[in-house]
Amino acid sequence: QIKESATLTRDVLEQHFSDLKGTLKKLLDERLMSLLQEVDVIEQESIKPLDECQKLIEHGVSTADDLLREGESAVDGDVGQQNEKLCNFTKKALHIQLDSLPEVPSLVDVPCLSAQLDDCLLTILKNQIFRHGTVASRPPVQLEEFVEKPGGILVRWCKVDDDFIPQDYRLQYRKSTASHFEDVYVGSETEFIVLHIDPNVDYQFRVCARGDGRQEWSPWSVPQIGHTTLVPHEWTTGLEGYSLSSRRNIALRNDSQSCGVLYSKAPTYFCGQTLTFRQVPFGIETVGQPDRRDSLGVCVEQQNGYDSLQRDKAVCISTNGAVFVNGKEMTNQLPAVTSGSTVTFDMEVVQLGPCNEGGNFKLRVTISSNNREVVFDWVLDQCCGSLYFGCSFSYPGWKVLVF
């Protein structure tokens, strides 16, 4: 691990500084071209009026020279031609203004270009470069635990550097056969359930952190492998009142008039696990219209012909927060289910009787919603190694993810 990480760190450093040198050279070249273009513009704008002034002066001198030659010719001719030539010369001389010149700018008004280059840039760059980059022998956060979930993995991580104050964490994963990691979570929590995990397939995970008030991320933790042996929870297909996602873990109550209970495909919920329902916002209306018959819960077996889980051999919560056990409403009530609400069911066996002799089978049930929970014992007349989950909604717009 030391040699492999050292080799990787060298490669990362060499590539980063190579890219940095290329970027700096490009930026310096662009700045040089910008300044040279600025010199060209000032030169062209400043020299244009001087060139025009020079052309006017040269034209005046040439005109005066031509007039002088014409005057000499008039004087040298015979008497008859002299009068005519002198007359023409005089008329021409009167129309030419030889005593005026264009205004020539004073020397102080003529631009004199120079370049101002402040050496403090080198000092700033030097100080920044000498502080750029660090080499860490250990990352400040490490992966701590993997907990199998149906079709997912609960990943937990922890801070191992006491002096490091984290602001955000960043979790990535990839299949062991894949070449690139991808982000799966960025936030302040120290655990996250990664869904859409194929059972019995190894995945690599790594995590890093960003210090308080910093922009850059810390080094990655040591990659670790996690997997799940639990098949994902799926809703049953074919019920007219519900539309399912491609993975069949999200159910949407559509606008069909048909109603009934949508059950899981199989009894995939086992005691000791946590079953989670999450209300997913859908469209403009974040949730559908509530109804007292609405239900989210678990049951011993599928029973058709009911429009709610508020029946025998089932425990559930209604969208208004009422809790039902075997069809009877409890006095304790949870908050109403709204957009983004998460409802969890946890069960453990507290008493196991001789089921084949009609004994009682007692489960300790905890239902949590919006940071509140109710705990009660659910007494059944049969042993249940696994349970179905289900939902029922009277009106369209409800969209539930199960995991």
| All structural domains of the chain with their residue ranges | 1-131, 141-226, 242-402
Please say whether the beta carbons of 292 and 351 come within 8 A: no
pLDDT tens, residue order, the chain (403 aa): 688 888 888 998 999 999 999 999 999 999 999 999 999 998 888 888 778 778 888 877 887 787 777 777 777 766 666 677 777 777 776 777 656 656 666 767 777 888 888 888 888 888 888 888 777 778 899 999 999 999 999 999 999 988 889 999 999 999 988 889 999 999 999 999 998 899 999 999 999 999 888 888 988 998 999 999 998 999 999 899 999 999 999 999 998 888 899 999 999 999 889 999 999 876 545 678 899 999 999 999 999 889 999 999 999 999 999 999 999 999 999 999 988 899 999 999 887 655 555 557 889 999 999 999 999 999 988 888 799 999 999 999 899 999 9
- Cα distances from 34 to residues 40, 41, 111, in angstroms, run 10, 11, 19
> Among 3.40.350.10, 3.90.1260.10, 3.40.50.970, 2.60.40.10, what is the CATH number of 141-226?
2.60.40.10
pLDDT value, residue 245: 93
Question: Roughly what angle, to the nearest 10 degrees, separates helices 2-76 and 79-95?
Answer: 140
pLDDT value, residue 287: 74
pLDDT value, residue 282: 62
- Cα distances from 74 to residues 67, 79, 82, 84, 170, in angstroms, run 11, 10, 5, 8, 100
- Return phi, psi of residue 123, to 5°: -65, -45
The CATH class, in words, for 242-402 is mainly beta
pLDDT value, residue 44: 85
Tokens of 268: 């995939």
Residue 366 class from Cβ within 10 Å (0-12 exposed, 13-18 middle, 19+ buried)?
middle
pLDDT value, residue 94: 72
pLDDT value, residue 132: 84
Enter the pTM of the model: 0.61
Can you tell me the distance from the alpha carbon of 34 to that of 391, in angstroms, rounded to the nearest whole number? Answer: 67
Please say whether the beta carbons of 148 and 230 come within 8 A: yes
